[in-house]
Amino acid sequence: MRHLVIMSDIEMGAGGLTDDFPYSQWLGARLLAYADQAGEDELFVVFNGDTFDFLKTAVNGEYPTRITAQVALAKLAQVQAAHPHFFRAVKAILEDTRGPRRVAFLLGNHDMELAFAKVQREIRDAVGPAEFPGFSLDVGDLHIEHGQQADGMFTVDPEEVFVLHDGEPVLSLPWGAVALLDVALPLQHRLHELDRIKPRNKVLEIVPEVKDLLVNAYWNYWTRDWWSDYWNGADPNKRISWTMIRDVTYRLGTLDTDLSVGDVHKQLVRQAFGPKVCIIGHLHQPALWTWLDRRVLYTGCLRDEFVMDPDGGVSRRMPKSWAVVRMDGDKVLAADLVEDEGPPVREGQVFAHVRDVLPRIRDLICTPEELAAMNLGEQDQRTREAVAVAAGEPLPGPRSRRGPDSPHSS
């Protein structure tokens, strides 16, 4: 009998308040418990992408888009220092002689740095013979992948994970990652608690100031900064694509990295010789889809995510979820989702109310006087409106959603 444990979107970060998963001691204990349960049977632990949150790990206080092996190793060192229990538990599993033990790390859009041979070597030095199969892994009639390849914002050409820049291989970043690094991550130290609250569109309705801040930041980026870098050829990761033009309008104004993977994987299991079970992460929302005796499991996430109440209060955390699969040789016998309430929420991990974010961004919002001093032309009507909304001025039309009766309006 083979037992597989498949976890995605743990998003262990560099420690500190911006870390979305400060619970590696708890995780280590859970993993070791699976080894105890497996006993003499095979245990295969698959970390299905976004295990490490390298995307949101700064190097010397910055978020470089030119990611060399050196930059990647600097990120890994920080994550290792912040999560010793995780690495110790994985090492203990690989050293467990009670039965066959395997551990694999698949690539996600937050941990593409795992593609560097030097990063893989460093992790093997820490934990032992871990496997790095790339974007997907097939075990008998089971197919596992993170899912970002079906998400236009984060798709990477598997044949061109690296691009040569100044004679050095650097990660070939999808445009979604570049935009996040350039625009959203410099705001991360102000917005990290808010970033953990869902549903995103409702959160931004209650704090339109944040929506306007982000929309303006992205607007300036796409209309000015991005294009100038593109024409100057200053950054090898800035290339135009129609997907980008299409998706940016829809995904503008959000820090969120998870959205949609369409029905690519449902079609995959419907193929005549398709896998019996397909396991997908990236969406941060657990779900099960079945067709005949085939199924797609979306495993959800382990990073901290919270649910906003209709009034903007935040009192509930999403359960942590992953998949467990039992196999006989190459045949899947059972594939199930596991939900776990997780360890107690770390102090300071989330706001009590989404509008608690406002003091964090006060200094980024112009006063009416500053606005007047800018002497904006007619072309800048969009900016003018956004700044006016941010300053709490009433505007005609659908954008002035915040009524004067709102107890939280500033």
Q: 212 or 304, CB closer to Mn ion?
A: 304
State the minimum distance, in angstroms, from the CB of residue 76 to Mn ion: 18
State the minimum distance, in angstroms, from the CB of residue 261 to Mn ion: 10
Q: 30 or 282, CB closer to Mn ion?
A: 282
Structure token pair of residue 401: 């959603």
Residues in 177-236 that interact with Mn ion by CB under 5 A:
none
State the minimum distance, in angstroms, from the CB of residue 143 to Mn ion: 17
Q: 79 or 386, CB closer to Mn ion?
A: 79
Region class of 63: left (phi > 0), else alpha (psi between -120 and 50), else beta? beta
Q: 216 or 254, CB closer to Mn ion?
A: 254
DSSP strand pairing (136-139 vs 142-145) = antiparallel
Q: What are the Cα distances from residue 108, in Å, to 9, 74, 111?
A: 8, 18, 5
CA angle 76, 81, 86 (to 5 degrees): 85
Q: Of the ranges 21-29, 100-108, 156-164, 214-222, which one interacts with Mn ion (CB under 5 A)?
A: 100-108
State the minimum distance, in angstroms, from the CB of residue 78 to Mn ion: 20
Structure token pair of residue 358: 């406002």
Q: 265 or 355, CB closer to Mn ion?
A: 265
Please select the residue that binds Mn ion; options are 48, 57, 65, 109, rule is CB under 5 A. Answer: 109
Instruction: Give the largest CA-CA distance in the chain.
Output: 74
Closest residue to Mn ion using C-beta atoms: 282
Instruction: Give 62's strand partners.
Output: 59
User: What does DSSP assign to residue 345?
Assistant: P
Host H or E run for residue 227: helix 226-232
**String of DSSP letters for 353-375:** BGGGGHHHHGGGSPPHHHHHHH-
State the minimum distance, in angstroms, from the CB of residue 260 to Mn ion: 12
Q: 48 or 349, CB closer to Mn ion?
A: 48
**Which of these, 217, 149, 209, 152, lies nearest to 179 by C-alpha position?**
217
176 is an interface residue for Mn ion by CB under 5 A: no
Q: 52 or 116, CB closer to Mn ion?
A: 52
State the minimum distance, in angstroms, from the CB of residue 283 to Mn ion: 8
284 is an interface residue for Mn ion by CB under 5 A: no
Structure token pair of residue 397: 């039309």
State the minimum distance, in angstroms, from the CB of residue 301 to Mn ion: 9
State the minimum distance, in angstroms, from the CB of residue 151 to Mn ion: 8
Structure token pair of residue 204: 């931004």
State the minimum distance, in angstroms, from the CB of residue 109 to Mn ion: 5
Host H or E run for residue 34: helix 24-38
Q: Of the ranges 101-109, 128-136, 213-221, 247-255, which one interacts with Mn ion (CB under 5 A)?
A: 101-109
Residue with tokens 């970002």: 148
The whole-angstrom separation of Cα 310 and Cα 314 is 9
Residues in 25-84 that interact with Mn ion by CB under 5 A:
50
Q: 171 or 388, CB closer to Mn ion?
A: 171
Q: Of the ranges 38-46, 265-273, 279-287, 364-372, which one interacts with Mn ion (CB under 5 A)?
A: 279-287
Q: 43 or 318, CB closer to Mn ion?
A: 318
Q: How many residues interact with Mn ion (rule CB under 5 A)? A: 4
282 is an interface residue for Mn ion by CB under 5 A: yes
What 3-state DSSP class applies to 303?
A: coil
Please select the residue that binds Mn ion; options are 13, 28, 108, 253, rule is CB under 5 A. Answer: 108
**String of DSSP letters for 148-203:** GGGSTTT---TT-SEEEETTEEEE---HHHHHIIIIIGGGHHHHHHHHTEE-HHHH
Q: Contact residues for Mn ion (CB under 5 A)?
A: 50, 108-109, 282
